[in-house]
Amino acid sequence: MKLFRFTLVCILTFNLFFSCTEDNRDPINQVIDNGNGENNDFAQNFGSTIYRTFLGTVMDQNHNPLQSVTITIGDATAQTDAHGVFIIQDAQVYERFGYIKAEKEGYLTGSRSVVPSEGTNKVNIILLEESIAGTVSSGSEETVSLPNGASVKLPGSYVTSDGTSYSGTVSVVLHLLDPTEDDMTMQMPGMLYGANADNEERMLQSYGMLAVELLGDSGEKLNLAEDSTAEITVPLDVSLQTNAPTSIPLWHFDEDGGYWVEDGEATLTGTTYVGSVSHFSFWNCDIPAEAINLCINLTDENGNSLSNLWTTITSEIYGTRGGNTNELGQVCGLVPSNESLEVNIYNYDMCGATSLFTTSIGPYSSDSSEDIIIITLPSDVISETVTGNFNTCNDDP
């Protein structure tokens, strides 16, 4: 039986998922806190403010849709529906950076950062459960570990969000995010992009990351007391061990800014990275690289845009990353500068991924756009454009 892949390019008036914005919006504040209490001008890398549309899905770790997740992009908000879907139109973002935050009680805050393209920007976010990996007590040094080898050694000194000293039981939420797992890019916050110690933008290659959250007796969020440090242990997947450097920069995720910030160093100990941290967030072991923003535009031989095709870009040094083309046939993201890259275009159907096209591009020394024409498409790839409006069961828009 022939399997048909039906590609919908939807130009719709969505009132189903409400987004709240002000008509007289001010530009997004260009001063972002770097997570250490010092303001910086890192956001100057993002370019001017623009308005873009975002369509996304939020799921749990079992890929079940999550309803009533609060989505925030700039000053716009929305709630996911019963299918975990949201849309926000005309959200205020930057030319080179957009930050989508997803929040729901019982889960760690999730997010996605993207290089916004014209048309609809599609994102998928997996929220990690706020599940307790272990409990410790204030006043004593204790370690919480996972069966996979990830651990955190805590000093016993904690404070509440307002800086008040905390005494009592501490529940520890701990997750390991393995960069070799398919879901990692949906589970991790932001994207693999950050500010190095010199406040320069870099793309990142992850060797592993931890999500750590501390909760008090009443469920209140805690953190380490001033001048206290904790030791984190990040196990390496076997496929990463051969080329793992003896030391690697540590990066914490700035939940306000939407990017990673270099903050210390981890040392290779056996098959794990071990490092000290002074506060808790997501922590990441990454090699940084200079990067440019690249947009890929896919069309067929007649100039028709090819949407919903999974497009990957592979670097011999920094691995593979990818995304789906939108209804304009475009996908954008950060790639290593001054390096030849391999592009692969895939068609996903019920039988898996089938490569449609492969080519080499680059190197690039500045932000660029690449037009790719796919002359021959499989006969079971059918592309249609559907234009319409969504109404409720009461025939309301």
The domain spans of the chain are: 5-126, 132-289, 291-378
Residue 380 has pLDDT above 70, yes or no: no
The mean pLDDT of 51-55, rounded to a whole number, is 96
Tens digits of per-residue pLDDT, 225-234?
Answer: 999 999 999 9
User: Residue 251: what pLDDT?
Assistant: 98
- What is the DSSP annotation of 286-300? EEEE-EEEEEEEEEE
The alpha carbons of the chain give a radius of gyration, in whole angstroms, of 22
**Higher confidence at residue 321 or residue 199?**
199
* Six token digits for residue 172: 């520890």
Q: Is the pLDDT of residue 217 over 90?
A: yes
Number of Cβ within a 10 Å radius of residue 28: 16
CATH number at 132-289:
2.60.220
CATH number of 5-126: 2.60.40.10
Query: Where does the pLDDT of residue 321 fall: very low under 50, low under 70, confident under 90, or very high at 90 and above?
Result: confident
Common-topology check for domains 132-289 and 291-378: no
Mean pLDDT of 169-175: 98
Nearest residue to 91 (alpha-carbon basis) of 79, 77, 109: 77
Least confident of 288-292, 329-333, 348-352: 348-352
How far apart (Å, rounded) are the C-alpha atoms in residues 149 and 280? Answer: 19
Q: What's the pLDDT at 216? A: 97
Say what the pTM is: 0.82
Q: What pLDDT band is residue 215 in, cutting at 50, 70 and 90?
A: very high
First-to-last C-alpha distance (Å) of the chain: 38
Cα(152)–Cα(143) distance, integer angstroms: 6
C-alpha 92/C-alpha 52 separation (Å) is 7
Tell me what the mean pLDDT of segment 297-320 comes to: 88
Tell me how far apart the alpha carbons of residues 205 and 144 are, in angstroms, rounded to a whole number.
26
Asked if 210 and 175 count as a contact pair (C-beta separation under 8 A), the reply is yes
The architecture CATH gives domain 291-378:
Sandwich (2.60)
Conformation bin of residue 168: beta by default, left when phi > 0, alpha when psi is -120 to 50? left
Q: Is the pLDDT of residue 21 over 60?
A: no
Q: If 0-12 CB within 10 Å is exposed, 13-18 middle and 19+ buried, where does residue 394 land?
A: exposed
Give how far Cα 188 sits from Cα of 180, 223, 385, 394, Å. Answer: 13, 20, 33, 39
Q: Are 138 and 217 in contact (CB under 8 A)?
A: no
More confident residue, 99 or 40: 99
Closest C-alpha to 286, from 202, 223, 228 = 202
Segment holding 239, helix H or strand E: helix 238-241
pLDDT over 70 (residue 15): no
Most confident listed range (5-19, 58-72, 294-308): 58-72
pLDDT at 346: 86
